[in-house]
Amino acid sequence: MRTQVGIVGGGPAGALLSHLLHLQGIESVVLELRNREEVETAVRAGVLEDATAELLRETGVGKRMDQKGAVHEGIELRFGGHGHRIDFADLTGGRKIVVYGQQEVVKDLYAARLSAGGKLIYEAAATGLQDLDTPQPKIRFRRGAKLDLDAGDIRFRDDTNEEEITCDFVVGADGFFGPCRSFIPDEVRKEHVRTYPFGWFGILVEGSPSTEELIYTLHERGFALVSTRSPEVQRLYFQCDPNDKVDNWPDERIWEEMQTRLATDDGWTLKEGRIFQKDLVQMRSFICEPMQHGRLFLAGDAAHIVPPTGAKGMNLAVSDVRVLVRGLIEFYSSGRTNLLESYSETCLRRVWKASRFSWWMTSMLHRFHDEDDFRYRLQLAELDYLASSRAASTSLAENYVGLPMEVITGVPAND
Ligand code: DHB
């Protein structure tokens, strides 16, 4: 098989890249390990920066988002039993976020790709990358793949053999656990890692929202977050032990914990409902430098992970793809490689800033139970400062709605 851009991974980064390339007349093939239903129903993050939402609209995949997503103009920070609103629209000149599930974004992208005749191969695992330092890199892959979660490896149906895609470029959009990153040689690859001493317990709940905007809470017992998915489905999280198990948390215990952490003195109540899904979210910061090697480019979680507190994960995947597409357009229209050469450098400036923001939100809003009270009191003081200072609130707001896109390095002055 031959294509222009071979993409490993059909999550938000891979699917968006394929869509944007198609709009420019550039052909791609996407390999996705899971089947379509698995990707479309996997519950992930749900906050889109305004530029992310705008990009989806501009490229014809924002219709359902505008119908079903919720535009939020602020968030609430809650601590000491009081809520304090951070008004994004006021602090950032009218910018907002859209709360719309990542799997819904992927669904919209798949629908667009499939109706345009796009080539998406599900249940296909990349088994190797070759010739990355030549103009004809190759992806080896095998169909009939299934991830065996218990064993932590991939099984294949017996009736499949290894196949090969010859491309001009290979994009590793295969997530944190995908194989592509390891094809950047050890001598040039530096991985920065920070783990946090807690995780998030997430639940999906049937029922109407308890709040119009997201609530981020710091309580003595730990962090809690009230988010939403739709007028009928609510998404709630609370800080838990990183090694906790879903089975340790029967519904009554979850509600008791959430009610305790979210209690206020202003009459607000958290609405309970039927919990129909429970999951554990890992908390990790990870950055791989560089994000490219020869004709291989990494995008999204394959290159970097942020803890979920700042809601940046999917937005970073989208900004990587934006930079990569510009580089590929430049290459296919002029043969120049300036933008592709500076891909990693351009992306990493934004990635580090978003990682800083996510680390900061995480550090401020969680209980570090093994540390003394001094740290906790500083966290409360920082929240108090945020709630009372327009300058501090503006810093949070401009990061949350999304910093401006990077100036792309390597663009000649007359471009
Ligand atoms: C959601 C996730 C986040 O990490 C966050 O900061 C806000 C909302 C969510 O899944 O809805």
Q: How far apart are CA 66 and CA 54, in angstroms?
A: 10
**pLDDT-based confidence at 409, cuts 50/70/90?**
low
pLDDT, tens digit (0-9, with 9 covering 90-100), for 84-118:
999 999 999 999 999 999 999 999 999 999 999 99
Ligand 1 touching residue 227 (CB < 6 A): yes
pLDDT, tens digit (0-9, with 9 covering 90-100), for 332-372:
999 999 999 999 999 999 999 999 999 999 999 999 999 99
Among 198, 227, 316, the mutation site with the greatest number of ligand 1 atoms within 8 A of its Cβ is 227
Ligand 1 touching residue 233 (CB < 6 A): no
Report which ligand 1 atom has the smallest distance to the Cα of 310.
6
Is residue 332 part of the annotated active site? The answer reads: no
**pLDDT-based confidence at 415, cuts 50/70/90?**
very low
Residue among 216, 219, 307, 343 flagged as catalytic: 216
Report which ligand 1 atom has the smallest distance to the Cα of 44.
10
Ligand 1 touching residue 47 (CB < 6 A): yes
Atom 10 of ligand 1: nearest residue by CA position: 45
Ligand 1 touching residue 214 (CB < 6 A): yes
Q: Is the pLDDT of residue 411 over 50?
A: no
Domain 5-46+101-189+290-368 has CATH 3.40.50.1390: no
Is residue 312 part of the annotated active site? The answer reads: yes
Name the residue with higher pLDDT: 318 or 40. Answer: 318
Please answer whether residues 216 and 84 qualify as being in contact, where contact means their C-beta atoms are separated by less than 8 angstroms: no
Give the pLDDT score at 42.
85
CA 9 – ligand 1 centroid, Å: 22
Report which ligand 1 atom has the smallest distance to the Cα of 229.
11
Ligand 1 touching residue 309 (CB < 6 A): yes
Please name every residue paired with 223 in a beta bridge, in sequence order, or none if there are none: 218
Please answer whether residues 170 and 295 qualify as being in contact, where contact means their C-beta atoms are separated by less than 8 angstroms: yes
Provide mean pLDDT across the span 282-307.
97
Which residues have C-beta within 8 Å of that of residue 253, sequence separation ≥ 6?
A: none
pLDDT, tens digit (0-9, with 9 covering 90-100), for 117-161:
999 999 999 999 999 999 999 999 999 999 887 788 899 999 999
Q: How far apart are CA 340 and CA 325, in angstroms?
A: 9
Report which ligand 1 atom has the smallest distance to the Cα of 361.
6
CA 253 – ligand 1 centroid, Å: 22
CA 241 – ligand 1 centroid, Å: 19
Long-range contacts, stretch 153-158, CB < 8 angstroms, 24+ apart: 154/33, 154/125, 156/125
Residue among 137, 219, 308, 343 flagged as catalytic: 308
Q: Where in the chain is the domain with CATH 3.30.9.10?
A: 193-283
Find where tokens 């507190």 sit. Answer: 309
Give the pLDDT score at 407.
64
CA 367 – ligand 1 centroid, Å: 18
Give the pLDDT score at 27.
98
Percent of the chain topping pLDDT 70 = 98
Please answer whether residues 198 and 241 qualify as being in contact, where contact means their C-beta atoms are separated by less than 8 angstroms: yes
Residue among 12, 19, 22, 72 flagged as catalytic: 72
Give the pLDDT score at 354.
98
Is residue 400 part of the annotated active site? The answer reads: yes
Give the pLDDT score at 337.
97
Q: How far apart are CA 63 and CA 53, in angstroms?
A: 10
Sheet with strand 5-8: strands edge to edge: 119-121, 28-31, 5-8, 169-172, 296-298, 292-293
Q: How far apart are CA 197 and CA 127, in angstroms?
A: 34
Is residue 135 part of the annotated active site? The answer reads: no
C-alpha distances (whole Å) from 224 to each of 203, 214, 306, 383 are: 12, 11, 18, 15
Provide mean pLDDT across the span 191-211.
96
Specify burial of residue 200 (Cβ count, 10 A radius: 0-12, 13-18, 19+): buried
Give the pLDDT score at 41.
86
CA 155 – ligand 1 centroid, Å: 32
Give the pLDDT score at 150.
79
Provide mean pLDDT across the span 10-31.
98
Report which ligand 1 atom has the smallest distance to the Cα of 43.
10
CA 46 – ligand 1 centroid, Å: 6
Q: Where in the chain is the domain with CATH 3.50.50.60?
A: 5-46+101-189+290-368
pLDDT, tens digit (0-9, with 9 covering 90-100), for 310-330:
999 999 999 999 999 999 999
Report which ligand 1 atom has the smallest distance to the Cα of 45.
10
Please answer whether residues 80 and 266 qualify as being in contact, where contact means their C-beta atoms are separated by less than 8 angstroms: no
CA 391 – ligand 1 centroid, Å: 24
Is residue 72 part of the annotated active site? The answer reads: yes
Atom 7 of ligand 1: nearest residue by CA position: 311
- The per-residue pLDDT of the chain, averaged, comes to 95
CA 235 – ligand 1 centroid, Å: 8
Give the pLDDT score at 251.
98
Neighbours of 61 (CB within 10 A): 22
Provide mean pLDDT across the span 171-178.
97
Structural fold of domain 193-283: D-Amino Acid Oxidase; Chain A, domain 2 (3.30.9)
Neighbours of 32 (CB within 10 A): 26
Buried/exposed 271-308: b ≥16 CB within 10 Å, e otherwise: ebbebeeeebbebbbbbbbbbbbbbbbbbbbbbbbbbb
